[in-house]
Chain A
Amino acid sequence: MKASSKKTLKHALLFSLSVFLGLAYTGSIDTASAAQKAKSTDAAQKSDKEAASSTSTVPKLDPSDPTSVIYLDTSGKPAGVGDPNRPPSVAYQAGKGWHPAALSVAGLPKDRYGLIDWAKLVREKLIKPRFSLDPNDEEMEPLQMDILIPAKGDYVNDVIYPHEMHTYWLKCEVCHPKIFIPAKGQNNMTMVGIVQGQWCGRCHGKVSFPLTDCNRCHVSPKKKAAGN
């Protein structure tokens, strides 16, 4: 009786040992394979990363440079690969101009509404536009002449109109005498009319900066406006 019980215990111990060893063995295999898998995926990821880093070069944003990635598609993604021999898209073929989406990433100075501040661009001499498309046109120096335009309401700062920035872009005839009578005080301007597209509103809000930032034009303090 005693011997048989000892025997069964021995068997049980042996069996459990074999089970344990077997488990350990298979487990070790499993972990090894997992490690191998992890290693391989790591390698794959690494190679992916390397590939990505090799393909993504620092984007050039110069339209005069043929290797520039300035040519973006409509969703704003670069459509050009920078190789002028391989026209990548319709946008590329259509023209080599500045693309609006490219402009937005070009790091140009912006106003607080996120719009490109062209006046600042000119003042900081970041761009040098051609005076005229006609090479025979004589260049005209910007006119240094500020006009104080009193605001109609008592509680609004007066406007200082700078001829300088406007004559940088435009000829006199663009505005005078059709939009503005060239005599001080003769243009009975109102903000209501401007919003409806008269006077300054002929351009501002359409091709020039919009009317959102009041204080960009209403700069000259009025007594009543300041005094409360």
Chain B
Amino acid sequence: MYKYISIALLLAFSMPAAAANVAKEIKLDSKVASMHKAGVGPVIFPHALHEKTYKCNDCHPKIFKDKHGDNDISMKKNMDGQYCGSPNCHNSQKAFALFNCSKCHTEVTGKPK
């Protein structure tokens, strides 16, 4: 009996902790040199914002691999319908379009570094 209660309690406490663990912002800067050439800075991906609308398995692991750094995201791939630019995402009418640089990129100056 106590065993079950303890398991239930453990689950109840661990679930929000797990949610908090993934709901952080992710900085995408592996291609920062190229970004600077185009006059933009790294991307900050707001995980919490996406979690409001989507479930984990809407994106993981089909569109994005779970592990940070395993996804070789590029604007070219986004344009071609992968990653952020997947058919129901930022390459469709369901979300803002890919050309809104400053919606994702930081340091959007337009002046190549």
A153 to chain B, nearest CB (A): 4
Residues 107-159 (chain A) with a chain B CB within 8 angstroms: 113-114, 151-157
Complex Cα gap A218–B38 (Å): 14
With most chain A CB atoms within 10 A of its CB, the pick from B74, B76, B99, B100 is B76
Interface digits, A202-223 against B, CB 8 Å rule (1 contact, 0 not)? 0000000011101100100010
B37 adjacent to A156 (CB under 8 Å): no
Q: For residue B111, which residue of chain A has the nearest CB?
A: A190
- Minimum distance in angstroms from B109 CB to a CB of chain A: 7
Partner of B110, one of A155, A192, A212: A192
Q: Does chain B have a CB within 8 A of A22?
A: no
Instruction: Count A-B pairs with CB separation below 8 Å.
Output: 73
- Are the CB atoms of A153 and B37 closer together than 8 Å? yes
The interface residues of chain A lying within 8 Å CB-to-CB of B99 are 191, 194-195, 210-212, 214
Does A152 contact B112, Cβ atoms closer than 8 Å? yes
A32 to B38, CA, bound (A): 83
A190-B38 CB under 8 A given contacts A154-B31, A212-B99? yes
Q: Are A155 and B31 in contact (CB under 8 A)?
A: yes
- Using A153-B34, A153-B37 as known contacts, say yes or no to A191 and B101 having CB atoms under 8 A apart: yes
Assess whether A215 is in contact with B80, with CB atoms less than 8 Å apart. yes
Question: A153 contacts B72, CB within 8 Å?
Answer: no
Residues of B within 8 A of A192 (CB): 38-40, 101-102, 108-110
Q: In the complex, which residues 21-73 of chain B have their Cβ closer than 8 Å to any Cβ of chain A?
A: 31, 33-35, 37-40, 72
User: B97–A228 contact, CB under 8 A?
Assistant: no
Residues of A within 8 A of B89 (CB): none
- Tell me, in angstroms, the Cα distance from A195 to B38 when the chains sit together: 13
Query: In the complex, what's the smallest C-beta–C-beta distance from B47 to chain A, in angstroms?
Result: 23
Instruction: Give me 15 other A-B pairs in contact (C-beta within 8 A), A155-B31, A195-B101, A196-B110 excluded.
Output: A113-B93, A152-B112, A153-B34, A153-B37, A153-B75, A154-B33, A157-B76, A192-B38, A192-B110, A211-B99, A212-B98, A212-B99, A215-B80, A222-B76, A226-B76
Interface residues of B, Cβ cutoff 8 Å to A: 31, 33-35, 37-40, 72, 74-77, 79-80, 93, 97-102, 108-112
